[in-house]
């Protein structure tokens, strides 16, 4: 069985932003990570590579929490393959 | 798609607009100084001294486009300045040559930079531009941001200062 989606997303965020995954949670707000557009671009490119999902900037701007990001990926990628 | 404002996390709500060079230039001058301090090479040998009258001339000719990012207090926090004209090699290809772009570090949190370029793109589309060209400093490489915004890397720029 593969790694749960939330863990994969949090793992990617941790890797891209150079933070410990144990410090991240679904409830954490992206704004609290202190990242800028360049950081977020790196994350979105990593998500594209990992999940084959391109998230447009306007769509990314509407995401508030890491949970929102995981839910979007689940909705667009995982659910569509059911 | 039009993007008129973006809620930049925590401290800023930033609004974007096309402004006339004449109305914006005085407010933008202090930002150009900070911009230069952050990214310019050879600062000990080449001081910042824009040829403002040339910018005025380009504005009068309708070539200059100035996008200004302002915070909720209407203070400028960033800009994109571009020259819009037919490509010299391809008459039919209206091209936006990005001259400079900058966001104050304190305004960079969150999506502000990406939204500034998304706004720029929407305005260029509205103006009939078919090609946008921009460089990025190796010192502050925004390649990933451009890639995410669906720009394609096409050239490398070299320089040699002749003293």
Interface predicted TM-score (ipTM): 0.88
User: Which residues 101-160 on chain B approach chain A with CB closer than 8 angstroms?
Assistant: 108-115, 118, 142, 144-145, 147-149
Cα(B129)–Cα(B1) distance, integer angstroms? 15
Would you call A40 helix, strand, or coil by DSSP?
A: helix
Residues of chain B with pLDDT under 70: 1-12
pLDDT in tens, chain A (82 residues): 456 778 899 999 999 999 999 999 999 998 888 999 999 999 999 999 999 999 999 899 899 999 999 999 999 987 666 5
Residues in Cβ contact with B90 at an 8 Å cutoff, skipping those fewer than 6 apart: none
pLDDT at res. A2:
55
Q: How many CB pairs under 8 A join A and B?
A: 60
Cα A81 to chain centroid distance, Å, stands at: 19
Residues in Cβ contact with A17 at an 8 Å cutoff, skipping those fewer than 6 apart: A33, A35, A39, A43
pLDDT at res. B12:
57
Q: Do A42 and B149 touch (CB under 8 A)?
A: no
Rg (CA), chain A: 12
Q: Do A37 and B111 touch (CB under 8 A)?
A: yes
| A31 DSSP assignment | G
pLDDT at res. B7:
47
């Amino acid at each position: 069985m593969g790694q749960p989606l939330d863990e994969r997303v949090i793992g990617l965020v941790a890797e891209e932003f150079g933070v410990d995954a144990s410090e991240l949670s679904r409830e954490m707000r992206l704004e609290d990570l202190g990242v800028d557009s360049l950081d977020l671009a790196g994350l979105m490119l990593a998500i594209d590579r990992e999940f084959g999902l391109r998230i447009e900037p306007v769509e990314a701007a509407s995401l508030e929490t890491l949970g929102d990001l995981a839910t979007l990926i689940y909705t667009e990628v995982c659910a569509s393959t059911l | 798609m039009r993007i008129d404002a973006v809620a930049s996390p925590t401290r800023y709500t930033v609004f974007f607009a096309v402004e006339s060079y004449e109305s914006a230039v005085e407010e933008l001058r202090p930002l150009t100084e900070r911009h230069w301090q952050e990214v310019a090479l050879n600062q000990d040998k080449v001081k910042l001294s824009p040829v403002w009258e040339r910018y005025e001339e380009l504005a009068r000719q309708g070539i200059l486009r100035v996008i200004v990012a302002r915070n909720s207090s209407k203070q400028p926090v960033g800009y994109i300045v571009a020259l819009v004209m037919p490509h010299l090699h391809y008459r039919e290809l209206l091209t936006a040559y990005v001259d400079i772009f900058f966001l104050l570090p304190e305004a960079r949190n969150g999506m502000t930079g990406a939204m500034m370029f998304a706004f720029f793109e929407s305005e260029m589309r509205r103006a009939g531009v078919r090609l946008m060209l921009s460089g990025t400093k190796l010192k502050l490489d925004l390649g990933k941001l451009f890639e995410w915004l669906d720009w394609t890397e096409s050239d490398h720029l070299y320089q040699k200062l002749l003293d």
